[in-house]
Chains A and B, each alone.
Chain A
Amino acid sequence: DVKVTQSSRYLVKRTGEKVFLECVQDMDHENMFWYRQDPGLGLRLIYFSYDVKMKEKGDIPEGYSVSREKKERFSLILESASTNQTSMYLCASSLFGRIRGEGYTFGSGTRLTVV
């Protein structure tokens, strides 16, 4: 089974801290994604990457950056955490030119609280 592993299940950080959320997938997927999920707003795409060292802005990139130095790892960085970044963060991966019938594989999520 494809696995997408997010390094932390729960995280509490202080306002102004630099925060790193790590995501690793083990099935050689080209595509990786970071979403945040908030009540009433569904999932919103922050950043995605189709290849190593490549990144694309999603719908809500402000206040975030990403890093993809290796194919299996996609990191989300909050440069200076703020309380409005308190959320559930979900990482996902998929094959490029997806095999018929396959969708995204998600990690279990990181619930980040910024105090």
Chain B
Amino acid sequence: SQQGEEDPQALSIQEGENATMNCSYKTSINNLQWYRQNSGRGLVHLILIRSNEREKHSGRLRVTLDTSKKSSSLLITASRAADTASYFCATEGAAGNKLTFGGGTRVLVKP
């Protein structure tokens, strides 16, 4: 079963708007990571947030983590057509180095 579940499954926005997607998970984690995947390609690591952190920024990306609710959100500000991709959250459990991925959110940014 998947550890992370993203919501929504798909998102369509206009260029310049913000895109927000959420991730929920079930068990204790060491960290939570977000990845981007362009169509038919490999995943690219975007940002990692540790279990003792609540918010993290990287460029136009903002990630929050609420361990009490077992949830995270990824905000992409001022979206661009190049942000069109699928976004995945992944959790690393307390036991070790392997990641468990959610089903992803497909984001379409219309020019």
Contacts and interface: CB of A to CB of B under 8 A. Distances in A.
Interface string B88-108: 101000000111111110000
A102 B48 contact: yes
A103 interface: yes
Contact of A43 (B44, B48, B97, B101): B101
B55 to A, nearest CB: 14
Interface centre among B2, B33, B98, B102 (most CB of A within 10 A): B98
B45 A41 contact: no
B43 interface: yes
A101 B42 contact: no
A112 to B, nearest CB: 13
A102 to B, nearest CB: 7
Contacts of B48: 101-103
Given A42-B2, A42-B88, A101-B48, A109 B97 contact: no
B97 A94 contact: yes
Nearest to A108: B42
B88 A43 contact: yes
Nearest to A41: B103
B35 A103 contact: yes
Contacts of A98: 97
Contacts of B41: 108-109
A109 B2 contact: no
Nearest to A56: B98
A106 B97 contact: no
A106 B88 CA distance: 13
Interface of A: 4, 31, 33, 35, 40-45, 48, 50, 58-59, 88, 90, 92, 94, 96, 98, 101-109, 111
Given A33-B98, A88-B40, A104-B43, 18 more contacts: A35-B101, A42-B103, A43-B88, A43-B101, A44-B101, A50-B97, A58-B98, A59-B100, A90-B42, A90-B43, A101-B48, A103-B33, A105-B45, A106-B35, A106-B44, A107-B42, A109-B40, A111-B40
